[in-house]
Amino acid sequence: MQVAEHENLETLAVESINQQEAMIGLLGELHHQLLTQCTDSIEKFNAKFTDLQIKTQRTDLHLVEELRHVDITENTQRLIARRKDLQKQIVQLLNESLPKARNIKSLLASEMQSLKAGRRAMNGYKNGSERQGTIINRVR
């Protein structure tokens, strides 16, 4: 087993950890946005989080492949344990945010329904000037 293989494995583990820490940071921002019901930046969060999730999945695939071919050192075991803890933290944050996101989605759907009903009601109203001249307009 070569030193370069261990370095590559540890580099991948550190990269995975950094990506997962960034995901946790984004989830913290989302949690704050959900508490303040700031829906404007949730779309931006979704794009960033999805991109980071894809990058992390790629990194983790390479990491798993390296783990199959290299003996694991104590430092690598420590990094893998840290990565596992971060994954648990991500799942916990997602589970905490999901009910709040569903509530906001429900609130927005209710508001949209109310706006649609108001729009339909407003379409039924005509002012007096629109009715004037209808007979003349029809004769021509």
Q: Mind listing the pLDDT tens digit for each residue in 106-131?
A: 777 777 888 877 766 666 666 655 55
CATH number at residue 9: 1.20.58
Residue 117: domain span: 3-122
The number of domains in the chain is: 1
84-86-89 Cα angle (round to 5):
115
Asked if residue 95 belongs to a domain, the reply is yes
How confident is residue 132, by pLDDT bands cut at 50, 70 and 90?
low
Is 0.75 surpassed by the pTM of this model? no
Structural domain includes residue 112: yes
Amino acid in position 73? T
Confidence (pLDDT) at 46: 82
- Of the candidates 20, 39, 48, which has an alpha carbon nearest to the alpha carbon of residue 101? 39
Is there a domain that residue 133 lies in? no
Specify if 47 maps to a domain. yes
pLDDT for 17-67, tens place per residue?
999 999 999 888 887 777 676 666 777 888 898 999 999 999 999 999 988
CA 10 to CA 6: how far, in whole Å? 6
Residue 134 belongs to a domain: no
Per the domain annotation, does 90 fall within a domain? yes
Nearest Cα neighbor of 60 from 22, 18, 4 is 18
